[in-house]
Amino acid sequence: MPAILLNDGKVLLHREDERYSLPEAQPESIVAEGEKFDFEIEGKDYTAVGVTGCREIEGMEWIGVRDSWSRLDAGAHCAVGKGSELVFWARNNRFCGGCGAEMKRSTEISLKCPECGREIFPSVSPAIIVLVKRDDKALLVHARQFTRPFFGLVAGFVETGETLEQCVAREVKEETSLDITDIRYEGSQPWPYPMQLMIGFTARYAGGEITFADGELTEGGFFDKDHLPPLPGNGSIARRMIEKWIEEMKENINAKTK
């Protein structure tokens, strides 16, 4: 069964030339720390284990969970994401938040306090991401936190007591000062960095001038499909949504010229 060995945001991958894959079993020289989760994704079994120390192993390489994305096939990366969420969750909930006693594994995906009985399950943080359309253009922005010089979509965390639609409107308003309307669900993607769920929407521009008053964004504007800035990496929901919009724009042009 493929082993997902995780430590400090990194996963151990087997490397042969430039091809990466998950090791088929846990290398004997690696000692597991205790967090171990077995699960199945699309009919394939995996085991995820938390380990300490990124030991060097011949023919293997420790790669950041996020960077493993471009090196693994979609199914394997999905499994790495799930495994890293579970191990992160277990490591960050060693003690009961109610009474401070040491938590014990209760079921495959729950921890229970032997003193007060408090039981907890892995929880993800929902975040929204939105493609705002204005005529034949889309709003693309560069955020201070982006590590590479690309332009993506407005995104942000859902706050307590807020609907997803309210969150979408608030994030766009806060980050760009724009008003939007016609907010529609587009799709979602697990975002295991460390435990989020990215929920995608489209919306239409309704008014206002762009300003980046709250400081999260540094640049941005409305771009047409023929004058796009560098885009987010393949595989991200942002990239998928932008590519879908480009296809829509091409279809619009084809429909007009017929």
Binding site for Zn ion (CB under 5 A): 96, 98-99, 101, 113, 115-116, 118
Query: By C-beta, is 98 or 230 nearer to Zn ion?
Result: 98
Q: Taking the mean position of all CA atoms in its chain, how far away is CA 79?
A: 13
User: Least distance (Å) from Zn ion to the CB of residue 115?
Assistant: 5
DSSP structural state of residue 94 = S
Shortest approach of Zn ion to residue 93 CB, angstroms? 11
Beta bridge partners, 61, equal 13
- Residue 216 dihedral angles phi and psi, to the nearest 5°: -75, -35
> Which residue carries 């995104």 as its tokens?
155
Is residue 22 within 8 Å of 13, Cβ to Cβ? yes
Three-class DSSP category at 217: strand
Q: Which is nearer to Zn ion, 99 or 253 (CB)?
A: 99
In the complex, what is the shortest distance from the CB of residue 106 to Zn ion, in angstroms, rounded to a whole number? 12
CA 155, 158, 159, 165 torsion: positive or negative? positive
Residues 6+ apart with CB under 8 A from 109: 37, 86, 121, 122
User: 3-class SS at 83?
Assistant: helix
Give min distance, CB of 103 to Zn ion, in A. Answer: 8
Nearest to Zn ion of 118, 244 (CB atom): 118
Question: Which CB sits closer to Zn ion, 117 or 208?
Answer: 117
Residue 118 Cβ vs Zn ion, minimum distance, rounded to whole Å: 5
Q: Which is nearer to Zn ion, 38 or 102 (CB)?
A: 102
